[in-house]
Amino acid sequence: MSELFLNIVDIYHYASIALFTIGLWKVLEKCGAKGWWALLPGGRYFKLGDVVECDNAGIVVLFLEICYCLLWIAGEFVPHESMSTGIIGLAVIVVVLIQFAFMFRIYTGVCFTFGKSWRWMFLWVPFNWIAALIFGFNPKFQPVNLGIRLNEDLKAGTDPATIGTIRNYMSHIQDGGLTVMLKERTVRDFNKKRYLLKDIYFTIPNNSLVLLLGGSGSGKTTLVNAITGYEKANAEIYLNGQNVYEQYELMKYKIGFVPQQDLLRYNDTVLNTLNDAAKLRLPTSMKRKDRTDAIDEVLDTLGLVSGKSGLVSKKSGGMKKRISIGTELICRPELFILDEPDSGLDGVIARELFETLQKIAHTGRIVIAITHTPDRVVNMFDKVIVLARDSGRVGRLAFYGRPDEALKFFGKDSMENIIMAINRKDEGGEGRADEFIAKYAEYVNEHSGNEEKEELPDEQR
């Protein structure tokens, strides 16, 4: 009786595999793929994941299929009662569970591609051969969402918009200031190349306070990380004539970065906080008097002298932000970058903070600030960089110049309205990013080699 039962189970197992293969062959053909992929044990899910645009899941299933085969082969050569057998058995269970999770995602993709309810998963999961036959042979089941992503974020950056590209930006590298020539910043996502940034070119002179402007996801943080060398891009970054990437060990001490979140020890005094920062950031060979002078200079510049003996925890939000700035300013950086330094500050305090940053910039440095409320302090900035996501959701340069030029270029009366112009329509914007990216690229190409791009011509406004 038991042998008969086992024979029936085996017959069902092999029959279901055969029927699933036949049904999947037709499903793949309906989706425009070669049906013979259904004959390949791992390849079938790879191709199915590809046509329903869950290709990463298909790659994972294929990889796990290979792992399963290797584990099965290994199990054949291991004594059945050894500890290794138990480890291999556990590994097989883990591989099967992970594989099932990704197959579930692929089946979900099939349902979406054919425009069917997720309730069909109740058939796909236990009886995939029945579902495959229905989807493959029923003429009423046709792909209606072929080529549409289940998750639009999966497509972001994989296909940059074909719009204007800045060419031959500079004929030589300037000795002073910051020069950014970023061709692209990409990452690998399984078998896909994903663009985060593309065609970012500008030169910032010393003594400049610069606003880095852009909507959410436009690549502001990615650009900052590329400039500082924290996450290198396919780019050439020069700070006062020195290549940041090639001389990174030296240049990293010439660049200061203040994150949005304060990284301070609240139970310490202001003076001790700056003294500790000096020990970390300044050369160990520096004389004690010189280090003390550097600390005093920072205290004076940031208006912290009178409260230097007080605890950080007792300071206001504006003062804590100044202390954070001081911990980076202590090494006298040539380039100073701040991520939302005015976050959580009211208008008056924020303006005082930017007045301080302006004073720092005009001592021969470059200060770049990201802020989501630029209009209240826009008149303090010397330059503005505007990043925008193109229709392929890749961060591109939409403008670089003076703030008043930016308003004329975009035809807007505020920085906030500039953001609205380049934001996507589904984000409440006007969806004109490609237009302005191409417009600015055309202007730069016409004036390449001329570093004095202080005025945009009337036809570009």
What local confidence, expressed as pLDDT, does residue 344 receive? Answer: 73
Q: Are residues 54 and 127 in the same domain?
A: yes
Helix boundaries (H) for 40-82? 43-51, 55-76
Per the domain annotation, does 383 fall within a domain? yes
Overall pTM surpassing 0.75 (yes/no)? no
Q: Are residues 103 and 191 in the same domain?
A: no
Q: Where is 415: in which H helix or E strand?
A: helix 415-422
**CB distance 82 to 101 below 8 Å:** no
What local confidence, expressed as pLDDT, does residue 191 receive? Answer: 57
Q: What is the pLDDT of residues 347-368, one digit of tens each?
A: 788 888 888 899 999 989 999 9
Q: Are residues 243 and 337 in the same domain?
A: yes
Q: Are residues 145 and 183 in the same domain?
A: no
Which of 60-69, 268-277, 444-453 is most confident? Answer: 268-277
Q: Compute the distance between CA of residue 8 and CA of residue 292 in angstroms, rounded to an integer.
A: 86
Q: Compute the distance between CA of residue 375 and CA of residue 417 in angstroms, rounded to an integer.
A: 10
Per the domain annotation, does 272 fall within a domain? no
Per the domain annotation, does 289 fall within a domain? no
Give how many domains the chain has, as a whole number.
Answer: 2
pLDDT band of 38, cuts 50, 70, 90: confident
Instruction: Check pLDDT > 70 for residue 457.
Output: no
Q: Are residues 20 and 88 in the same domain?
A: yes
Q: Are residues 82 and 13 in the same domain?
A: yes
Q: Are residues 211 and 340 in the same domain?
A: yes
Which letter does DSSP use for residue 125 in this model?
T
Considering only CA atoms, which of 66, 150, 60, 154 is closest in space to residue 108?
A: 150
Q: Are residues 242 and 123 in the same domain?
A: no
Q: What is the pLDDT of residues 216-260, one digit of tens each?
A: 888 899 999 999 988 899 999 999 989 999 998 888 888 988 887
Instruction: Check pLDDT > 80 for residue 263.
Output: no
Q: Are residues 99 and 246 in the same domain?
A: no
Per the domain annotation, does 307 fall within a domain? no
Q: Are residues 347 and 225 in the same domain?
A: yes
Segment among 81-95, 202-216, 445-459 with least mean pLDDT: 445-459
Average pLDDT, the chain: 83
Query: Of 150, 169, 202, which residue constitutes the final position of a domain?
Result: 150
More confident position, 448 or 298: 298
Q: Compute the distance between CA of residue 280 and CA of residue 249 in angstroms, rounded to an integer.
A: 15
Per the domain annotation, does 432 fall within a domain? yes
Which stretches does DSSP call E strand in 228-319?
A: 234-239, 242-243, 255-258
Query: Of 150, 167, 190, which residue constitutes the final position of a domain?
Result: 150
Structural domain that includes position 79 = 2-150
Q: Are residues 60 and 200 in the same domain?
A: no
Per the domain annotation, does 156 fall within a domain? no
Per the domain annotation, does 313 fall within a domain? no
Q: Are residues 50 and 188 in the same domain?
A: no
Q: What is the pLDDT of residues 63-79, one digit of tens each?
A: 888 887 887 777 767 66
Instruction: Check pLDDT > 80 for residue 152.
Output: no
